[in-house]
Structure 1
């Protein structure tokens, strides 16, 4: 693993770009400042895919990423060894000009990350910046219009700028043409310097000076004539454009890595990655659209092939249980299962994974919930599952080293399926229509005696002994219940069969819905009225 910070990003970016270009696939993982902002946005088994998307959008737009990891897997051309190139990026958006994003920290997220020794200081002081397309447009527009120097739109320490200009002013009064003064950068105030702003501000305030960076990256201020100033300004137009581009690239930060992934249309792999994908879309691409269908369409355009290892593991549950006797969708445990001797020996030519030279931190050190480490585990699990799926119906005599493209042919049923936790659907389909709901039929609970009232928390306690449930009160004495699986639903029906306090039955819309009953009664009354009117009309005509 290689830690990529704000200081080292420019130096390492060419290596990251080269590695991504060579990779067969790239695994990703990220850490967020929270999972949801409001209680109403908690996941529920009642959620349709559209409802879940709206809930998650409410949270993702208010939260942010604090770390992201990528692990690019490159196959050795001569054997079945894959090299993992893993990079871990602490992230922190930067404020500049009109760009000053606000975000929320959820207390439980802070506590969770703290338990795994997350370095919050590194995130704040050395976090790599990022912008989405809309923020980049605002930044470019602000630089082109000169709004950065109005003193209104820039988010910069004005007192620091004023102190520099005051020093220059004192020198300027007694200086002569051709004389130079150097503004020295000290380690203490290094983070306050933005060369582009300081150069522009001093030149704007003092018409007869010119500024350049000296060999020590300090700023040299020279007093010049009006003619010389005009000449230097003409020469500087190209340099100024370069400085603006340099500033923009610095602000884009990790977005440049995202654009490399997008440019080369790399296969993207994640574990339970719906939230990762939504964060990547919102922070590095565009603000999340209101419509779920638009999000799916755009994401599929950016990354045509996405694989979710959690969803893949569900589809391989029986196979893994048959081989190892255990099953888990937890990423660390899934990695342990797939790296076991039982799995390695069950199928010949199982691909091995080595860490790239210089990126070997995870070789002997586990770092759970560090984004780079989890990205590596995810990529490893994906590769091993690819091999198992490809040879699942093959005799040992017919097995041989398989190129990655053949793995992809075997993975066709798994592409673009993204796992959904605690929702009506087990997964969504990014490149087409979502699958039908496979959850058990909803249950209808009512109090048997008049005057009794249901308490959702107490009801949840009673029912949860049978398994995962979600409850929605319909009235003071009735409720809808969704069970997490059919075993749970059957257990509830059996447990409360003939219960003296609660009646539990399968939910029937036309029987239990108040809206449906109202519609039926209105229809009955309307049809009855029509019948009466028709009969009366016949009698009247007979007279």
Structure 2
């Protein structure tokens, strides 16, 4: 089911009902970009992985969100899917304006997949974080409670003729029995404020004045005739209700994200770390810089997460799956020894495999759910069970995969996942070095340099540096000694390189170090000045050259 701002309010109860009755939920998201600046290196720890994504990904916009609710049909003994594809766009007013980055390659890719950017901007559903919602809610409540107590503004002389001219036109409108409302356009915010004041004072019992936003986003004043004093209260109530409707529309998709969180149900995704980061950052609260706080925050909001990318990278799937790219994984799981389940849907409420809408967030969420069910069924068969329904009563099947998010870039270097509910893997990096080399060198030159020490893994950082990992870890000390005095290259152990990099990159540490140096300099200068002062005093008190010389 496609959901835009036009049908969001109508669809919201359906989404809530789907979440309520689902056994598990599947999410997927599309963004305006993936990484800005330095990318993750293949030797990063989970904490470094998070820090890099936090600094390089959170300024991109989340523009499409897929939610697929898998509900058990007891009569048919199979799952049905109720899936939703949401277009998202934070449009400001009454919410805050949002600045964001976009990556040309990401937009080009989405365009090639048929993504409708016009629909995104015109019909995208707004959203905001919880702190922003709380602040705007309090502001609106406060403004409505004191709307009648605003202090009068003196009309500047240069604006008086314009205000008087508009008031005269309103008077003519009120005396005209044929028209019931009029619009006042071509006014800036200050003139509108003056008109609210003057029209409200002069025509309090005859007209009701309110602000109106046209389709072209221009703002005008709307003046409506009143028949009685009761109309004033009714229209004022309607205005306030409309302001709350606009506010709730601005909160928008955040309602859905919070319903998912409050359900406490299993949430499945494929390679879902970025999906989780953006979900938390855009709909809940800005992500914390502290990694431990991030893990605690994530686990609190989503206590059960499962990443099918991680699940498919482990036995018994690892040796049978050639590619864990989502549509490749789907194709593999459709063949023996696996089998894909049936997961039908009501017309217009979900997807079927034949739709083949790859990279549409709703469809990707749906096929991720199919992959999860296929792998779950395969694990059950291996244990001699015939379990088609996902149940946490039989948690042994899923326990190895719960709350572990796949880290694609480091998966082959012993850091395959981030553990949200426990300790992360802490592999040794004693076999890894930071290498600086001449600019003219190519990959073959580096391979030749280490040819005596077996195969190596290389990740280039720039034109003159790279990270090098030895396959023969036992030769790490030998390599370090062999190149210790080289004149052409510099080889630094990975841990030492990271310590130097982190110290340089951390502005707080640099400021503290500068402050410490400045403090020491001040002490030295103070001692020097005091010494000179004491010398001068002694010279005055004891003009004898011997005393002065001794000092």
SS in structure 2 of the partner of residue 246 of structure 1? helix
Which residue, out of 308, 317, 325, partners 1:330?
325
Quote the residue 2:408 is aligned against.
421
Structure 1 unaligned runs (5+)?
150-164, 193-198, 345-349, 448-452, 516-543
Which of 501-510 and 19-28 deviates more? Answer: 501-510
Cα distance 1:444–1:96, how it changes in 2: closer, same or farther (>3 A)? closer
Contact 1:443–1:504 (CA<8 Å) still a contact in 2? no
Count of residue correspondences: 457
- TM-score under structure 2 normalisation? 0.71
Quote the residue 1:458 is aligned against.
442
Q: Of the two, which has the highest radius of gyration?
A: 2
Show the 5 A alignment for 1:423-438: 423=410, 425-437=415-427
Quote the residue 1:343 is aligned against.
338
Quote the residue 1:222 is aligned against.
224
Contact 1:9–1:128 (CA<8 Å) still a contact in 2? yes
Cα distance 1:254–1:445, how it changes in 2: closer, same or farther (>3 A)? closer
Which residue, out of 347, 352, 355, partners 1:365?
355
Q: Deviations over 1:268-313 (max 9, x none)?
A: 1111111110100010001111211111111111111000000000
SS in structure 2 of the partner of residue 30 of structure 1? strand
Which of 171-180 and 361-370 deviates more? Answer: 171-180
SS in structure 2 of the partner of residue 99 of structure 1? coil
Cα distance 1:235–1:508, how it changes in 2: closer, same or farther (>3 A)? closer
Show the 5 A alignment for 1:141-540: 141-146=138-143, 171-176=169-174, 180-183=179-182, 204=197, 206-207=199-200, 208=203, 209-210=207-208, 221-224=223-226, 232=231, 234=233, 238-316=237-315, 318-319=316-317, 321=319, 325-344=320-339, 351-394=341-384, 399=386, 401-402=388-389, 404-406=391-393, 408-423=395-410, 425-437=415-427, 441-444=430-433, 453-455=437-439, 458-459=442-443, 462-463=446-447, 469-471=458-460, 480-482=467-469
Superposition deviation, residue 232 in structure 1: 4.9
Cα distance 1:490–1:392, how it changes in 2: closer, same or farther (>3 A)? farther
Q: In the aligned structure 1, how far is the partner of 2:20 from the partner of 2:33? A: 32
Superposition deviation, residue 139 in structure 1: 2.3
Structure 2 unaligned runs (5+)?
148-162, 187-191, 502-551
Quote the residue 1:537 is aligned against.
none
Contact 2:88–2:125 (CA<8 Å) still a contact in 1? yes
- TM-score under structure 1 normalisation? 0.71
Quote the residue 1:125 is aligned against.
122
Contact 2:199–2:209 (CA<8 Å) still a contact in 1? no
SS in structure 1 of the partner of residue 337 of structure 2? helix
Which of 127-136 and 169-178 deviates more? Answer: 169-178
Q: In the aligned structure 1, how far is the partner of 2:282 from the partner of 2:173? A: 49
Cα distance 1:174–1:378, how it changes in 2: closer, same or farther (>3 A)? same
Q: In the aligned structure 1, how far is the partner of 2:100 from the partner of 2:194? A: 30
Superposition deviation, residue 472 in structure 1: 6.0
SS in structure 1 of the partner of residue 63 of structure 2? strand
Contact 2:127–2:254 (CA<8 Å) still a contact in 1? yes
Asked whether 1:112 is paired with 2:101, we answer no
